[in-house]
Amino acid sequence: MLTTVLVTGGAGFIGSNFVLDWIASSDELVINLDKLTYAGNLQNLETLKGDKRHIFVQGDIGDHNLVLGLLREHNVRAVINFAAESHVDRSIDGPEEFIQTNVVGTFHLLEAVRDYWGGLAENDKSAFRFLHVSTDEVYGSLEKSDPPFAETNRYEPNSPYSASKAASDHLVRAYHHTYGLPVLTTNCSNNYGPYHFPEKLIPLCIHNALTGKPLPIYGDGQQVRDWLYVKDHCSAIRRVLEAGKVGETYNVGGWNEKPNLEVVQTLCAILDELKPRSDGRPYADQITYVKDRLGHDRRYAIDARRLERELGWRPAETFETGIKKTVQWYLDNQEWVNNITSGAYRDWVERQYLV
Ligand code: NAD
Ligand code: DAU
């Protein structure tokens, strides 16, 4: 019987939360393959130092021989694919890396997995799973009165990022339909929580608030996102891996639709309570409207009823409980933030916000 899981992108935000949660609840070996781009951070996995249940390998999902070697050496029973370029603004600034990793990289990963899977014994073959972690952004943008995205919505990606994720979803689907590879796909809404890279709205605003910088709101701040605490996303992935129907997709969401401005105001109010500004002014004073994102999607919302109905999954956190935990985590982990927000990070922020 095969016994190991291969996680790709496990040094990033969601991947590292997934690896930490997995190891906290299972003795199964995790092989963690991550290229360590600017978004990958081994500090996220520091608590696993010396733990024999975790093997970190620096490498690219597009490296066929490396992936095939890892699959064979460790008798892998499941691959969970988090590895991707994930930031929409960076995809607008420079789309090529998104095509390379999210499309070409996923293709090479699928090819290596197909090679390995094809050589397995029949019972291992049918028990094997390839779980592809994707996004709600593949469905495009909703009007105010539209129902939330269901699994049956057509794909209408609008950014280079979402188009690259949509392409990877299609490849995963095709590998099931054509070769019978036992795949599962999850399409999740906006995550937030520990280890979130401070280029994304929530950690960026917490960091900027605490360092006295502007809190940049794109356009009118009325774009709506559905927010899910990262640990709930991880529990959904574990559940789909365990009981999801092969070849199917599952939408994952938190039933927490919020306009961006409200999210930032909430962050400010929590910081006012937990770490008041030294001048006694509210953090909301730092809110600043800046130029809008090109092609900015107006609203995302997820209908996660299928996952609840068929697999019994529900999020454990509300937005109110999750966001409070998140702000507290950033207050307790300023060193983690400080280690990131230097060098290359500062170059990005300058290019994105000061020109
Ligand atoms: P992230 O940017 O924080 O982490 C991505 C990780 O992948 C990094 O550790 C990076 O080093 C690694 N990586 C990048 N290219 C690689 C390559 N070619 N080979 C190996 N590793 C590589 O991303 P995240 O926010 O943790 O997102 C993880 C996955 O979840 C992505 O596929 C993303 O599309 C999806 N997703 C994210 C969200 C969200 O809100 N963040 C929501 C839904 C879905
Ligand atoms: O919906 C799921 C997606 O959520 C994931 O697939 C992506 O990987 C993830 O990055 C996230 O994408 P968003 O573009 O929604 O996340 P971001 O944090 O970049 O932005 C959230 C919203 O806040 C969005 O409407 C843009 C806005 N925003 C963002 C930044 C960085 C601002 O108003 N100001 C900012 O400075």
Q: What is the CATH number of the domain that holds 307?
A: 3.40.50.720
Q: Does any domain span residue 273? A: no
Ligand 2, CB within 6 Å, residue ranges: 86-88, 135-137, 189-190, 200-201, 204, 216-218, 223, 225, 260, 293, 300
Q: Does any domain span residue 176? A: yes
Q: Does any domain span residue 73? A: yes
pLDDT for the residue 280? 98
**Which residues, other chains included, contact 203 with Cβ-Cβ below 8 Å and sequence gap of 6+?**
192, 196, 197, 330, 337
Q: Does any domain span residue 175? A: yes
Q: Does any domain span residue 338? A: no
Ligand 2 atom at minimum distance from 293 CA? 26
Q: Which two tokens stand for residue 126?
A: 């049918």
Q: Does any domain span residue 144? A: yes
Ligand 1 atom at minimum distance from 252 CA? 43
Q: Identify the segments of the chain with pLDDT beneath 70.
A: 355
pLDDT for the residue 346? 86
pLDDT for the residue 344? 85
Q: Does any domain span residue 207? A: no
- Expressed as residue numbers, the domain containing 108 is 4-193+229-255+299-316
Q: Does any domain span residue 354? A: no
pLDDT for the residue 343? 77
- Ligand 1 neighbour 194 (Cβ under 6 A): no
Whole-number Å distance, alpha carbon 101 to ligand 1 midpoint, is 10
Q: How many domains does the chain have?
A: 1
